[in-house]
Amino acid sequence: MFHALQLETVDNVATVVTEVDKGTVLTVQTPSETLTITSVDSIPFGHKIALASIEQGGTVTKYGRPIGRATSSIPKGGMVGAHNVEGRRGRGDLVAGRGASK
């Protein structure tokens, strides 16, 4: 059994498929193997866990493609979600000059 799924080997996040408490040792199914990682946050079903630390401004990769960039640094085992990652496409707020992104 696995607690999280990494979809492509280049992804720096995995999707958790169970409710995860802070400090849980998770089994992550990758395309080729299983590995373990300790959560540093509580993570709800369906949200993402960082498989490696991600710097502020760093690219978050899932499905082998960029899904956005980190708005703050995210530690390995941390939750990755709308609170710390932003999209780069369709950003009318940036056009209007009100975006949070640098």
Partner 1 sequence: MNTFLGFLRPGDMAGTRNHVLVIPAGRVLSIAATRVTNYVTGTKTAITGGGEVGRHKRDRERVACLLTGFAKNPNTYATIVLGAKKGFGYRETEAYNLAHEIAKAGKPVEVLTVEESGGLERLVEDGIAMARRFVHDASLVRREPVSADRLTIGVKCGESDATSGIAGNPSFGKAADLLIQDGGSVIFSETTELIGAETDMAERCADPADAKRLLEMVYEIEELAKRTGEDIRGINPLPSNISAGISTLEEKSLGAVRKAGTSKIMGVLEYATQPRKKGLHFMDGWMSAFSLPMSLAAAGCQIAIYQMGGDVLPSNDPPMLAHDNAVVAPLMIVTGNPRTASKAPRSIDFSAGAIITGESTVEQMGEALYAKILSIASGEVTKGETIRYSDPLEPYYLGPVF
Site string for partner 1, 17-56 (x = CB under 8 A): x--------------------------xxxxx--------
Cα–Cα distance, 65 to 52 (Å, whole number): 16
Taking the least distance from each CB to partner 1, the nearer of 46 and 57 is 46
Cα–Cα distance, 26 to 92 (Å, whole number): 38
Using alpha carbons, select from 74, 70, 68, 73 the residue that is nearest to residue 90: 68
Q: Tell me which residues touch partner 1 (CB under 8 A).
A: 1-2, 5, 7, 15, 17, 44-48, 60, 62-63, 65-68, 80-82, 85-96, 98-99
